[in-house]
Structure 1
Amino acid sequence: MPEVTNSYETVFILSTKLGEDGIASLVQKFKDLIAANGTVDGVDEWGKRRLAYLINKEAEGYYVLIDFTSVPAFTAELDRIYKITDGVLRSLIIKKEPEKAKKE
């Protein structure tokens, strides 16, 4: 029986204290992790943005959005890795609803 895969999108905010090289290496780490456990459909780096409120005494963060397809069990592991990785201020994983066929 083939495994069921779903479409997801994840947004994470990285600390700007990591510097450009640190941010680039973390973004690549998460892209590689997702690619190893599914398929990366798109990566959109929003860049440095001002936060709405201070997080860990930081006023700015580096935002990244990744669209991917994977098995449902992987999202729990990805969330766990976000939580234990230094430099990740916030993260969110959302299951995208399948697009319904247009009725004519």
Structure 2
Amino acid sequence: MRAYELAIIIRPTVDDTRVAEVVEKVKQDVQSFNGQVTAEKMWGRRGLAYPIEKHREGIYVLFELNMPPDSLTQFEQNLKLSEEIIRYMLVKI
């Protein structure tokens, strides 16, 4: 297992209950790939450096997680398929 940091940006039009559902879905995806979330930080609504899909702000959430490297491709595919997540970045720590 390797340590990773995942930052996601959720559409600003998503309400608070749906944001909590998206965060929970990401946690479940990590666990389904034999990983574990070690930390979660809700940064909240912030402005974007440039527009993404015509949005000028987004809801930022940062995760620290441990996952096997061979499951990253499928995990990233799941992140891409989420309509609420407009951008993500996954880096090895």
State the Cα distance separating 1:58 from its structure 2 match.
0.7
The alignment-based identity, stated in percent, is 29
Gaps of 5+ in 1: 97-104
Per-residue Cα deviation, 1:23-80 (whole angstroms, up to 9, x for no partner): 1110111012213321111001111101111111111100011101110022211210
Aligned length: 92
C-alpha RMSD of matched pairs (Å): 1.0
**2:20 alignment partner AA:** A
1:38-57 correspondence runs (5 A) = 38-57=35-54
Structure 1 stretches (4+) deviating beyond 2 angstroms? none
Equivalent-residue separation in structure 2 for 1:64 and 1:78 (angstroms): 17
Gaps of 5+ in 2: none
In the superposition, the TM-score normalised over structure 2's length comes to: 0.92
**1:55 alignment partner AA:** I
- Structure with higher Rg: it is 1
In the superposition, the TM-score normalised over structure 1's length comes to: 0.83
